Amino acid sequence: MQPAKILSLAAIAILSVSAPVHATTVIYEQSFTPGSGTAALNGTSLTTGASNWVAAAAFEADGDFNEPTAGSSATLSFAPSDGFVYTLDASIRNLTATVNVGAPENDWVALGFAKGQSSATSNSDRFINNNVIGKAWMLFRGADTTGTLDNFTHLGSATSGNNSGAVPSTSAAWTDATLATTYGGGIDMRVVLDTTGGTGNWTATWFAKLPASGTFTEVRGATALANEDINSVGVAISNPGFDGDLTYFSLTSIPEPTAALLGGLGALLLLRRRR
């Protein structure tokens, strides 16, 4: 009976050590109430997280982005570290295309990890180039009149947010056929950045779900980043003339299990020595 008792105590020790290590940390979180005001999002603080939004004029503090004059973005400062799994979420509602009647399929809203901060006075930062370059991001279209385009995921290089032709493949349609060809209305998007492999081995995985769905669907499997130079997270809109609401935004992290495992093994050895 003695060995069984030792194992039982060791298991308890491992659980007690690992539980807090695996706890999710909320880095940023904010819920929005669209239609509640017209103040600018730029410069406002989050409900959770020590940072202020840097946003173009199209973004309002209540989450609305109404009739923007051009593509633009809203970002928060954030630099990932090795050894974590980061989950970035955004909920978009009431996305309506478009004044851009010639090509409404080019009207999209995006979520992702990026390099650079938005400019409050610029309407050209939209994860593709200029001040904000997306490194692991995804877009959801307001419409597709041609019937040939899907919703997409992207990996960015040092100079381009959708560096086509790079290795690994930087751009890919959402793999779920229904989600890939659903446009406008509402969507929940998620990008998971896994840095537990260490610098040079970071990966991203992309998920999405419709508002009525209870669970997220993977729309692109884990893929190595083309460039890991990340110092921001945020949302972007592509073109002028379409409306939508950002209703929720969050960034959370979970540390890798190594420390918890080592702590549990240490507790096991200590118990054995005492026996």
**pLDDT score recorded for residue 235:** 95
**pLDDT score recorded for residue 272:** 42
Q: What is the pTM of this model?
A: 0.84
Compute mean pLDDT per 10 residues along the chain, 275 residues long, and list them: 43 42 88 92 94 91 78 92 97 78 69 90 75 94 79 92 68 94 94 97 98 95 96 88 89 76 40 42
Q: What is the CA radius of gyration of the chain?
A: 21
**pLDDT score recorded for residue 120:** 66
Q: Give yes or no for a contact between 95 and 142, defined as CB atoms under 8 angstroms apart.
A: yes
Nearest to 114 by CA among 93, 139, 92, 83: 139
**pLDDT score recorded for residue 107:** 80
**pLDDT score recorded for residue 123:** 58
**pLDDT score recorded for residue 124:** 67
DSSP tag of 46:
P
**pLDDT score recorded for residue 41:** 94
